[in-house]
Amino acid sequence: MATLIPCSVDTAPMAAELQSVSNHVKGTTAAVETMQTAVIAAENKGANKVCSNVNRGFFTLMRSQISQKIANKQSRVEALIMQLGQQKRQLLSIKTNMEREYGRIAERYLRIFTSVNKELESRIRQIDQPVFELVNKHMMTSSNRMNALSGWVTTSQVEGITQSQQILVSKMKHNAQVALEQSTEFLSQIGEQRVLTGKVLISNPNGNESKTCQIPVIIWETLNDNSGIHRMEVNTPETLDKIHSDKINNAIRESDTLPWGEEKSSMVAEEFMSIVDSSASNQRVKDMIKKMFASSDYKTV
């Protein structure tokens, strides 16, 4: 059988303690919230500072890299500018040398063509000289032929007509004799001119006859300082046909079989001295060229 024991419990102290605990919990909660707010603010401030530092460092790094690239490009551009300047000076030097060489070549060919023109003019004058002499000698006589063939006499006798006719016949006989003498002289000059023309011109233009002709040829050899390769060049007259020029070049390139001799040719020396004297160089350069030519050795065929 159960026994009921009545008891009375007072909850006021416990409630007071709970109230105190609740107040402490509220204070702790407020402190935690305050601390959390401060921590969040500190974290935000630190994050902002870190982001700012990272951004500053990134931009500083990029600026440094860009500045370095600019410096590299600038130095390369300056080097290229210097190289272009050097190439410009080299090209200007080559241009000056080419202009000088062109001037020398033009002057040389001008002298050659002038000499050829003078020679052709002299030959034409020699061929046409008899005609010129005949015209100059008998032009006045031909222009005054009517006056020369007329005869005048002053007579007062009846036989004046007969005397005038005799004088006219005598004048005509004299003119005929002079004309025959001039014709004989002209024919003689034509014969001499024909002989001279035969000596100047080719007697056999068809080329059926075998003949030996002498043609001026210049052979010069160069040595490359860098490669040490010898190079031989052959210059023939420009008026020569290409077939004959090629044959001469092929024959000369077999220079070992040519009869080279130590005999000095006076024609070569005279022609060289003439070219040096007619050049536009000063006297000191001409004297040095002549001295070098006199002290050099060359062979002839």
Whether the CB-CB separation of 285 and 276 falls below 8 Å is answered with no
100 and 146 inside one domain: no
170 and 84 inside one domain: no
Contacts of residue 207, Cβ cutoff 8 Å, sequence gap at least 6? none
**pLDDT score at 206:** 52
Instruction: Say if 300 falls within a structural domain.
Output: no
Q: What are the residues facing 261 on neighbouring strands?
A: 300
166 and 223 inside one domain: no
Instruction: Say if 3 falls within a structural domain.
Output: no
22 and 117 inside one domain: yes
Whether the per-residue pLDDT at 200 is higher than 60: the answer is no
Instruction: Say if 156 falls within a structural domain.
Output: no
- CA 288, 290, 295, 301: dihedral to nearest 10 degrees? 150
Classify residue 240 by its DSSP letter.
S
| pLDDT tens by residue, 203-240 | 555 555 666 666 777 777 777 767 777 777 778 877 77
User: In terms of pLDDT, which residue wins out, 61 or 182?
Assistant: 61
259: left (phi over 0), alpha (psi -120 to 50) or beta: beta
113 and 41 inside one domain: yes
169 and 93 inside one domain: no
Instruction: Say if 11 falls within a structural domain.
Output: no
Instruction: Say if 211 falls within a structural domain.
Output: no
**pLDDT score at 161:** 64
Q: Of all residues in the chain, what percent carry a pLDDT higher than 70?
A: 76
Instruction: Say if 13 falls within a structural domain.
Output: no
Residue type, 267: M
Instruction: Say if 207 falls within a structural domain.
Output: no
DSSP 134-203: HHHHHHHHHHTHHHHT-------STTHHHHHHHHHHHHHHHHHHHHHHHHHHHHHHHHHHHHHHHHHS-S
204: left (phi over 0), alpha (psi -120 to 50) or beta: beta
The boundaries of the domain holding residue 289 are: 216-295
The token pair at 167 is 């004088």
| pLDDT tens by residue, 45-95 | 888 888 888 888 899 999 999 999 999 999 999 989 999 999 999 999 999
CA dist 77 and 14 (Å) reads: 91
Count of the separate structural domains present in the chain: 3
117 and 28 inside one domain: yes
77 and 95 inside one domain: yes
185 and 228 inside one domain: no
Mean pLDDT to the nearest integer, 246-266:
70
**pLDDT score at 66:** 92
93 and 26 inside one domain: yes
CA dist 234 and 7 (Å) reads: 149
At residue 103, the 3 state secondary structure works out as helix
CA dist 43 and 259 (Å) reads: 108
Q: What is the pTM of this model?
A: 0.29
268 and 189 inside one domain: no
131 and 112 inside one domain: no
Instruction: Say if 2 falls within a structural domain.
Output: no
